[in-house]
Structure 1
Amino acid sequence: METNYIHVPEGAPAVPKLNVSVDDHDYRPGALRLIEELRPHWKPAEVKMKSFTDGITNKLIGCYVGEALQDVVLVRIYGNKTELFVDRENEVKSFRVLQAHRCAPRLYCTFNNGLCYEFLQGMALEPEHIRSPALFRLIARQLAKYHAIHAHNGWVPKSDLWLKMAKFFSLVPTYFQDPEMNERLSSEVPSASCLREELVWLRQNLSELGSPVVLCHNDLLCKNIIYRQAGGNVKFIDYEYAGYNYQAYDIGNHFNEFAGLNEVDYSLYPERRLQLQWLRAYLEAYKEYKNQGADVSSDEVEVLYVQVNRFALASHFFWGMWALIQAQYSTIDFDFLGYAVLRFNQYFKMKPEVTALNFPE
């Protein structure tokens, strides 16, 4: 049997669902109703709220009392129409599975248009951090830990990448109300028939690379990696896109994020030497977690190198389509259309380079 379902382990703590809606413009009243349930001993008048502006999918509010940020409840309000491309039930399952394996913060509750979870102390990373050998080894090992988690109840996990891509493709807008955006769409973004062709090409070429299907984070950008200097460890946050996917996709997607988000610069994509070090650290940890010994041959590293760089194409394509959908629906102030153009341009630039890579003989 094959599954793309995540199975929450027996005994994982249940997550209460509160019948509360939080307005993303006037969030205090709704957030206070959540805090009343989650932290009944806090006095409403003393609850402070801080809005985080990093995310471009949702709105995030930190609630706390006092000066020290000892106990912060994060309230995440889902972005407009994000239910079209984010499976919220799956996100909660991923959260619970990762929490059971001590890879995630605690999930306190869900509410009508969002969820509340524990704030992880530490610093969210920037592109320059994830290139440093000390940190990238931690990140590689933590990702290997994710990928070694069994959350499929003994069934053979199946990737839902192609299903998700097909769904995104069906949601991609063919025109915009705004004339200027519409002009950019027709002059700078590949046509629908071109996108369809590439989608077929990707599926045919990538699904036969032999990359194992594992539980993936699927959105490992810098801001989703929290580093704690005290413990010398990293944790990943934000599981909206988590699910079964090809191992090489998750890593290729992370390598694409070396370019940053606000000032995207693809010359920062990790060069071969850095990648080989990263991939070796990853494979050593992955084999350890899977009890397959710790010896990693250079051939294994080379095979993963080819798979990862080809799957990086799928990641550009995925976020390119995602950004076009966001350009239509999101209320967040971000140039989604410009971002889509960047991702598709990089896709077409990288395609001949990575198609030319060869597996070791």
Structure 2
Amino acid sequence: MNEIGMGISEAERAVEAAIVTVAAWSGKRLRYRAVLGGISNTNFQIEVEDDPVRYFLKVPGKGTEMFIDRKAAVAASKQAEEIGIGPMTFDYLNHLDIEIAEFIQGRRPSTHRDFSDPAIRGEAVRAYRRFHQAPALPLTKTVFDMIDEHDEQVRQLRGYQPPDHAWLRRQYLEARAALEASGLDLAACFNDPMPGNFLIGDDKSIMLIDFEYASNNERLYDLAIWSGEMFFSEQIDREIIEEYFGRYDTAHHARFIVLKALADIKWSTWAMVQNRISTLDFDFYKYGIWKHMRARSIITDPRWPSLLKTL
């Protein structure tokens, strides 16, 4: 753990300058260390003298204001706390767009392997359902809004576009038209199912962290993007649908698969924005290329036209 004054990097010095301004911590010995994980921001654990709470502090990454509404993220974090699926939050540095939450002890970040356990998958589905059933968030941002936003940002930044970008764009617009014609089912959505954003307890219970991308969005998109992130099979997708809705439905499954493709388009395009602006040590180009490839694999499936008709 570093003491105040020991910071070497720009991020460490920024954290020191910020935490010494917290009135509740005035006069206390403060220590901090970097926390690994995440591909957009710089994270730290904070220890405060005589305080049993350990704090998690997030410093926004360069350029993330292009697609993250920090006030909306704080509101979503607070809502998750209130319904019991997120950590305690603290408004000490909200004015600096620096999030502070409880550093939850006794839980560990999930891995992809964890979700091969049906009991853990079931807990995650129930956590999603609780968040979806909560009141609407202050920000409505659908997957369509996200894709259009990132597409324009890539254009302005002169970022990488795949050779078949125009074709992918047409497939997205066709899928969007079909989904909008069927009607969107908006709910408070998490929108960011990286494994590290699920904290697992010894009892296999789940808590969610990191609500930067949370918004009112298509309900099934939230489950579809989670499935894609965890590489679930279609059989597991069927089980998720049955667990969530209480029964399996082919129309829900068609919607699920189409939304998986849109999720990959969204994150592949997001990655190409990050590839132009981020200073973090992460290969966003490789990540984006892989997401493009998986989106194509879904769209070129012979079932794609019938899936759109089923919506």
TM norm. shorter chain > 0.5: yes
Counterpart for residue 119 of structure 2 = 134
Alignment partner of 1:253 is 2:239: no
Counterpart for residue 25 of structure 2 = 39
Which structure carries more helix by proportion?
2
Cα deviation for residue 208 of structure 1 reads 3.1
| CA 163–174 in structure 1, closer or farther in 2 if over 3 Å, else same | closer
Alignment partner of 1:62 is 2:35: no
Counterpart for residue 166 of structure 1 = 148
Cα distance in 1 between the residues matched to 2:187 and 2:116:
24
Q: Select 2:209's aligned residue among 237, 242, 256.
A: 237
Counterpart for residue 204 of structure 1 = 177
Cα deviation for residue 105 of structure 1 reads 1.4
Which residue identity lines up with residue 219 of structure 1 in the other structure? D
Which residue identity lines up with residue 249 of structure 1 in the other structure? Y
Cα distance in 1 between the residues matched to 2:48 and 2:85:
26
Cα deviation for residue 222 of structure 1 reads 1.0
Contact 1:144–1:283 (Cα < 8 Å) also in 2 = no
Which residue identity lines up with residue 200 of structure 1 in the other structure? L
Cα deviation for residue 120 of structure 1 reads 2.0
Which residue identity lines up with residue 78 of structure 1 in the other structure? P
Q: Select 1:308's aligned residue among 240, 243, 256.
A: 256
CA deviations on 1:205-263 (whole Å, 9 max, x unpaired) are 33334451111000112110001115x410111111100111111111001111xxxxx
Which residue identity lines up with residue 116 of structure 1 in the other structure? I
Contact 1:211–1:248 (Cα < 8 Å) also in 2 = no
Alignment partner of 1:120 is 2:104: yes
Q: Select 2:80's aligned residue among 91, 95, 98.
A: 98
| CA 103–175 in structure 1, closer or farther in 2 if over 3 Å, else same | closer
| CA 334–65 in structure 1, closer or farther in 2 if over 3 Å, else same | same
> Alpha carbon RMSD of aligned pairs, Å?
2.8
Post-superposition, which runs of at least 4 consecutive aligned residues in structure 1 deviate over 4 A?
173-176, 356-360
Query: With structure 1 as the length reference, what TM-score do the two structures score?
Result: 0.74
* SS of aligned partner of 1:26: helix
CA deviations on 1:160-213 (whole Å, 9 max, x unpaired) are 33223211111015776xxxxx8xx46xx2455445434422321333344511
Q: Select 2:198's aligned residue among 221, 225, 228.
A: 225
Contact 2:144–2:176 (Cα < 8 Å) also in 1 = yes
* SS of aligned partner of 1:56: coil
User: How do 1:252-331 and structure 2 match up within 5 A?
Assistant: 252-258=224-230, 269-284=231-246, 296=247, 298=248, 300=249, 302-331=250-279
Cα deviation for residue 108 of structure 1 reads 0.7
Q: How many residues align?
A: 298
Q: Select 1:333's aligned residue among 276, 281, 284.
A: 281
| CA 216–175 in structure 1, closer or farther in 2 if over 3 Å, else same | closer
Counterpart for residue 4 of structure 2 = none
Cα distance in 2 between the residues matched to 1:356 and 1:195:
14
| CA 274–152 in structure 1, closer or farther in 2 if over 3 Å, else same | closer
Cα deviation for residue 28 of structure 1 reads 4.5
Contact 1:211–1:307 (Cα < 8 Å) also in 2 = no
CA deviations on 1:288-333 (whole Å, 9 max, x unpaired) are xxxxxxxx3x4x3x33222111100110011011000000000100
Which residue identity lines up with residue 144 of structure 1 in the other structure? R
Q: Select 1:143's aligned residue among 128, 131, 140.
A: 128
Contact 1:159–1:245 (Cα < 8 Å) also in 2 = yes
Which residue identity lines up with residue 73 of structure 2 in the other structure? E
Which residue identity lines up with residue 41 of structure 2 in the other structure? N
Cα distance in 2 between the residues matched to 1:233 and 1:223:
15
Cα distance in 1 between the residues matched to 2:199 and 2:184:
27
Give identity over the alignment, percent: 18
Cα distance in 1 between the residues matched to 2:56 and 2:237:
34
Contact 1:59–1:76 (Cα < 8 Å) also in 2 = yes
Counterpart for residue 19 of structure 1 = none
| CA 332–215 in structure 1, closer or farther in 2 if over 3 Å, else same | same
Cα distance in 2 between the residues matched to 1:89 and 1:38:
22
Contact 2:136–2:216 (Cα < 8 Å) also in 1 = no
Range with bigger deviation, 325-334 or 167-176: 167-176
Counterpart for residue 289 of structure 1 = none
Query: With structure 2 as the length reference, what TM-score do the two structures score?
Result: 0.85
Cα distance in 1 between the residues matched to 2:306 and 2:240:
18
List runs of 5+ in structure 2 lacking aligned partners. Answer: 1-8
Which residue identity lines up with residue 233 of structure 1 in the other structure? S
